[in-house]
Chain A
Amino acid sequence: MKKLFKEPFFHFIIIGIALFFLYGLVNKGTDTKNTIIINDFDLDNITSSFEMQWKRDPTEQELQSIINQNIKQEIFYQEALKMNLDHNDEIIKRRLSQKMQFLSNDIAALSEPTDEVLKTYYKENFEKYLTPTTYSLYQITFSPDKRKDNYKDAIETLKQFPEASFEEMQPWGDKLPFSYYFEEANANELGLQLGSKFRDALETQEINNWTGPVPSGFGFHLVYITNKTPPQLPGYEKVKNEVIRNYEYDNQNETNELIYQELKKQYDIQFDIKSKDFDPKYVEYLENEFNN
């Protein structure tokens, strides 16, 4: 509760309530009345949003109660505006600024990119679309669960059978729930299954030979890579959806920034800093930064 008393928002409410009564006292004499009109549109809105949630029309009683809530909200809202309660309210600021953000996002969405624009984007950002390295490989696992020194066992097996055929090598490993043979598996998938250590170590392994020990999240492995395909750039059509997604995202961010910069031009941003905690040079620097 102590914290609450320190909240500016709380002060506003207190001051607001005080003003509310003051206003009532002062205004006693005057006879002006505000008008709230509930029209077809409002009623339609009320009933259709009720219907959307409840899949039926409201009863008369429910309708009356919702209208009452709306009127009460509208009156409080109008009175709060009159008393400027919206000023410097962080919640309202954020809400309205968020609305502006929405508007700007929608503006960005208005300009639909042509194929040509997208293709240029795809070429300029080709790294985003490269497939990971893929491998076809055989592996056997030396698990620490089943051996005293699984690293040593792996080294010795390799020393003893450097030329072993795939059938000959298989039984020397431990049984774990991974394939003995991975066909055209991409490095990311291998990394998810066996750990990033395994994925990274594969990069430097010789192909067409038994090599290792290769570390993984589950111990050490001997590996025979039969095929390694470096990162490839898929054709534009293949990744078009992703290109559109990325383009739209970047475009949205650029539009946001553009709108912000355009609006900022109409403001003179001044720093009125008297505290000695801030170097005047820094303040000057900030002022320059924000006015450019």
Chain B
Amino acid sequence: MKKLSILLVSLAFFACKNDKTEDKQSEIEEVKVTTETSKDETNEYPTQVFWGDTHLHTNLSMDAGLFGNRIGLDEAYKFAKGEEVTASIGIKAKLSRPLDFLVVADHSDGMGLFQAIDAGDEWVMKTTQGKRWNGLIKTGEGGVAALELIKAFSNTKLEMDPNDPGLQKSVWTATVEAAEKYNDPGKFTAFIGYEWTSLDKGNNLHRVVIYRDDADKTLGQIPAVTNALSPDPETLWPQLESYEKNTGGKVLAIAHNGNLSNGVMFAETRMNGEAFDESYVKERIKWEPLYEATQIKGDGEAHPFLSPNDEFADFENWDFGNLDLSVKKTDDMLAGEYTRSALKLGLKFKNELGTNPFKFGLIGSTDSHTTLATADDNNFFGKATNVEPSPERWKHPFVTSDQGVIMTWQTVASGYAAVWAKENTRASLWDAMKRKETYATTGPRMSLRFFGGFDYNENDLNNLVDAGYEKGVPMGGDINNAGDKSPTFITYALMDPEGGSLDRVQIVKGWANADGSLAEQVYDVIWSGDREVNAKGKVPAVGNTVNLEDATWDNSIGSTELKAVWTDPNFDPELEAFYYLRVIEIPTPRWTLYDKLRFDIKDMGEEVPMTAQQRGYTSPIWYSPK
């Protein structure tokens, strides 16, 4: 019936289209010329923001499988591209909006295989069956071979031993092939990548490795799976280096949200206990230009212990312990695992060693183990298959140990990676990641621009992209040598058209004082409505309009668009500093509220938050006196 109605509609439109538009035609042509000229047709700068997930697991990851994930690479890409798939628990799943790119970051592992029959490998041709089936395939009768094979397989009359090492074809090959299959330059980018899964005594030090290249270079690169050799990320870098050297390709690594590393992610010494040296700091930032600031296992931008004056720092923090909760978190660990404090520590090492090892840009990603890259609160498929939508999931203990318990309601529907690039291709997106023209959000697709320089003024807001690039640098860039000027910044935020409106735009500044101490300050730059800065120097809270009975809210208390030029009022040209944008939405329903209403849950306790202020963090712009 559906097919028929679409056809009928099509026919109806065809019928009425032709006779109506004739007379307006000349007028349209004229106007088109005048409007087109103002558009940036040269595409000199990145004019598009692309949305993706850099950290997704499918059932190829052993842990994902153990959680019950039964769907794989095809489903991961289909889902990211906006198609409907069936989730492992059997319900239909679809993104309300497709993503532009995806990095399937599974753990690699060897696996037996049948393509060898097709290839006529020696060990196959040794058997009568193998020879016969190979022949059938060659003569175009693969279907017959397949049926025979199924029969033989089912009756265990297979002459070949599926565990023969000759049968080994790695999951890596499957991963690379799927990425090639779904990569669609200009429309959808399927990056080739994997997760380097380093755990040291339960402290999460994972890195997602992303290649810029296609199968020709990457297929032969068996991922550096974690092995008995070492969990030290320093052992990953030489492998990335040798990849580039041997293939002429390019690769980068994104450090996993450090909030479950118990301070090890940004420890001030190397893992072997030695002090940082010039070589270490250079290598680290060379291979790890991006950092995952937010994901399902907690938001990692800031922590209230580290930033007591920041009223927004207390947001979805997971500060209970390390990944398996084998060791409880203590306050002294926090500085080594939150984005802002790591950026500050980086300045200290810049002063000491000449290079900033933590000069990273920011992205968000899900780290979902469900094959489904969901970060929207109203469509959240959870961290793993055992906590896909169900009336019980909120109270399922997600991690349990003798040190404590993390409940599933504490998982966060977060986040996505936004990348400013010229086109949707592996090369263009990867290059943007490398230059850090990226930002993190906890899910919403807000458009954020952030430019730094010394010469911006209010007029530049009329043409902020051109002015931004011409007179300064975008997010991820550097400004130097201020002389007698103070740096100025263009800040721009446009709300997600499906999300909450904007509460405020802030600039977070961090710097290293001459005495070696590190400092930070959060500035409210521009906000919605006519709220006035209070005695404490803060813009008061925007309010909360969420109706807990039906999960609706009123966008009128926030702004759709916020833009401003901001000059640092407390600038010292002699000090190393960084600035990044934090944009905060008005409160909207959290996934727990949607679950509560959808499943009519009666016993969800007071401790479970029902609303949240979604947010975005841009890559910093760094100032250096040199």
Interface residues of A (CB under 8 A from B): 1-3, 41, 45, 49, 52-55, 69, 90-91, 94-95, 98-99, 102-103, 106-112, 114, 126-127, 130, 136, 138, 143-145, 165-167, 176-177, 179-181, 183, 191-198, 207-208, 216-219, 226-232, 241, 245, 249, 252, 255, 258-259, 262-263, 265-266
Residues of B within 8 A of A (CB): 2-3, 6, 9-10, 13-14, 17, 20-21, 24, 27-28, 31-32, 34-36, 39, 59, 62, 65-66, 74, 78, 96-97, 111-115, 117-118, 133, 137, 140, 142-143, 145-146, 149-151, 153-155, 162, 165, 181-182, 184, 220-222, 224, 227-228, 238-239, 242, 246, 400-402, 447, 494-499, 528, 555-556, 559-561
| Interface contact B142-A258, CB-CB below 8 Å | no
The answer to whether B561 touches A259 (Cβ under 8 A) is no
Judging by beta carbons under 8 Å apart, are A230 and B24 in contact? no
The answer to whether B560 touches A1 (Cβ under 8 A) is no
CB pair A195–B228 under 8 Å, yes or no, is no
A126 to B399, CA, bound (A): 46
Check B118 against A110 for contact (C-beta < 8 Å).
yes
Known: A230-B10, A255-B150. A177 touches B494 (CB 8 A): yes
A–B complex contacts, Cβ < 8 Å, 12 sampled:
A109-B118, A110-B118, A110-B133, A111-B142, A127-B3, A145-B528, A176-B494, A179-B35, A208-B24, A232-B10, A245-B181, A249-B74
CB neighbours (8 Å) of A216 from chain B are: 497
Are A144 and B182 CB-contacts (below 8 A) given A3-B400, A166-B31, A196-B96? no
Q: How far is the CB of B324 from chain A (nearest CB, A)?
A: 12
Query: Is the CB–CB distance between A49 and B222 below 8 Å?
Result: yes
- Please determine whether A55 and B242 come into contact, CB atoms closer than 8 angstroms: yes
Q: Given that A52-B222, A195-B498, A218-B497 are contacting pairs, would A226 and B28 also be in contact in the complex, using a CB cutoff of 8 Å?
A: yes
Contact of A230 among B14, B153, B220, B246 (CB under 8 A): B14
A127–B6 CB distance below 8 A: yes
Report the separation of the CA atoms of residues A125 and B238 in the bound assembly, to the nearest whole angstrom: 49
Residue in A closest to B23 when the chains form the complex, CB atoms: A208
Check if A259 sits within 8 Å of B498, measured CB to CB. no
Report whether A179 and B39 are in contact in the complex, using a CB–CB cutoff of 8 Å: yes
Q: Would you call the interface of chain A mostly helix, strand, loop, or mixed? A: helix
Contacts of A103 in B (CB 8 A): 112-114, 153, 162
Which of A99, A114, A226 contacts B21, CB < 8 Å? A226
- CA A1 to CA B248, docked complex, whole Å: 50
Known contacts A2-B402, A144-B556, A179-B39; is A218 also within 8 Å of B495 by CB? Answer: yes
Contact (Cβ within 8 A) A110 B560: no
With A109-B114, A217-B498, A263-B154 known, 11 other A-B pairs at CB within 8 A are: A69-B228, A110-B114, A110-B117, A111-B143, A112-B140, A145-B528, A177-B494, A207-B21, A218-B497, A228-B17, A229-B13
Complex contacts, A241 vs chain B, CB 8 Å: 184
- Which A residues touch B556, using CB under 8 A? 144
Whether A145 pairs with B559 at a CB distance below 8 angstroms is: yes
Please measure, in the bound complex, the distance between the C-alpha atom of A241 and the C-alpha atom of B52, giving whole angstroms. 22
CA distance A153 to B432 in the complex (A): 41
Prevailing SS type, chain B contact patch: helix
Contact of A106 among B113, B154, B239, B528 (CB under 8 A): B113
Chain A proximity of B325: nearest CB distance (Å): 11
Q: Is the CB of A208 within 8 A of B21?
A: yes
- B-side contacts of A191, CB under 8 Å: 97
B78, A249: Cβ atoms under 8 Å?
yes
* Min distance, Cβ B398 to any Cβ of chain A, angstroms: 13
Contact B162 A109 (CB under 8 A): no
- Bound CA–CA A241/B190 (angstroms): 15
Residue of A nearest to B78 (CB): A249
Q: Are B146 and A110 in contact (CB under 8 A)?
A: yes
When the two chains form their complex, are residues B96 and A226 in contact, meaning their CB atoms are under 8 A apart? no
Give min CB distance, B52 to chain A, whole Å. 14
A69–B228 CA distance with the chains assembled, in angstroms = 9
User: Shortest CB–CB separation between residue B363 and chain A, in angstroms?
Assistant: 20
Top 7 closest pairs, chain A to chain B, by CB? A217-B497, A195-B497, A106-B114, A111-B143, A55-B242, A230-B13, A111-B142
**Contact B31 A145, beta carbon cutoff 8 Å:** no
- CB–CB A53/B142 < 8 A: no
Q: Using Cβ atoms and an 8 Å threshold, which residues of chain A touch B14?
A: 230
Contact A176 B31 (CB under 8 A): no
Contact A107-B146, Cβ < 8 Å, known A193-B497, A217-B498, A230-B9: yes
Distance of A167 Cα from B162 Cα, bound (Å): 72
A112 CB to nearest B CB, Å: 6
Choice from B13, B34, B97, B150 contacting A192 with Cβ under 8 Å: B97
Chain A residues contacting B496 (CB-CB under 8 Å) are: 217
How far is B494's CA from A144's CA once the two chains are assembled, in angstroms?
A: 13
- Which one of A111, A219, A229 contacts B560 once the chains associate, using CB atoms below 8 Å? A219
- Report chain A residues within 8 Å CB of B221: 52
Q: Provide the residues of chain B in CB contact with A94, threshold 8 Å.
A: 65-66
Q: Which residue of A lies closest to B137 (CB)?
A: A110
Q: Do residues B24 and A109 form an inter-chain contact, with CB atoms below 8 A?
A: no
Given A49-B222, A55-B242, A208-B21, A109:B13 Cβ within 8 A: no
Output the least CB separation between A143 and chain B (Å).
6
CB-defined contacts of B65 to chain A, threshold 8 Å: 94-95, 98
Given contacts A102-B111, A102-B113, contact A111 B162 (CB under 8 A): no
- State in angstroms the CA–CA spacing of A193 and B485 once bound together: 38
Give the residue of A99, A130, A230 whose beta carbon is less than 8 angstroms from that of B111: A99
A207 to B146, CA, bound (A): 54
A102 to B21, CA, bound (A): 56
Complex contact B145–A231 (CB within 8 A): no
Residue from A53, A107, A108, A255 in contact with B222 in the complex, judged by beta carbons closer than 8 Å: A53
CB of B505 to closest CB in A, whole Å: 13
A52 and B118 CA atoms in complex are apart in Å by: 25
A210 vs B559: C-alpha distance when bound (angstroms): 27
Cβ contacts under 8 Å, B96 to chain A: 196
Identify the closest chain B residue to A97 (Cβ): B65
- CB neighbours (8 Å) of B133 from chain A are 110
Residues on A with C-beta less than 8 A from B151 are 262
How far, in angstroms, from A142 to B519 measured CA to CA in the complex? 43
Q: Are B35 and A181 in contact (CB under 8 A)?
A: yes
Query: A177 to B35, alpha carbons, bound, how many Å?
Result: 13
**Could you tell me if A166 and B27 are in contact, using CB atoms closer than 8 angstroms?**
yes
- The answer to whether B24 and A167 touch across the interface, beta carbons within 8 angstroms, is no
Interface pair A196/B21, CB less than 8 Å apart: no
> Are A218 and B560 neighbours in the complex by a CB distance under 8 Å?
yes
Asked if A226 contacts B137 (CB within 8 A), the reply is: no
CB distance from A116 to the nearest CB of B (A): 12
Name the B residues within 8 Å of A219 (CB-CB): 560
- State A94–B68 Cα separation when bound (angstroms): 9
- Given known contacts A102-B113, A143-B560, A259-B154, A196 and B24 CB-to-CB distance under 8 angstroms: no
B224 — which chain A residues lie within 8 A by C-beta?
Answer: 53
Query: Given the complex of chains A and B, what is the CA–CA distance between A165 and B26 in angstroms?
Result: 12
Q: Which of A94, A110, A143, A183 has the most CB of B within 10 A?
A: A110
- CB pair A231 B117 closer than 8 Å: no
Within the complex, the shortest CB–CB distance from A58 to chain B, in Å, comes to 11
User: In the complex, A108→B117 CA distance in Å?
Assistant: 13
The CA of A87 and the CA of B153, in the complex, are separated in Å by 22
Docked Cα-Cα span, A198 to B224, in Å, equals 47
Q: Is the CB of A110 within 8 A of B145?
A: yes
- In the bound complex, what is the Cα–Cα distance between A204 and B566 (angstroms)? 43
Complex-state Cα separation, A263 to B561, whole angstroms: 60
Residues of the A chain whose Cβ atoms lie less than 8 Å from the Cβ of B162: 99, 103
The residue of chain B having its C-beta at the shortest distance from the C-beta of A45 within the complex is B165
What is the CA–CA distance of A167 and B35 in the complex, to the nearest angstrom?
A: 10
Q: Which of A107, A167, A232, A249 contacts B149 (CB 8 A)?
A: A107
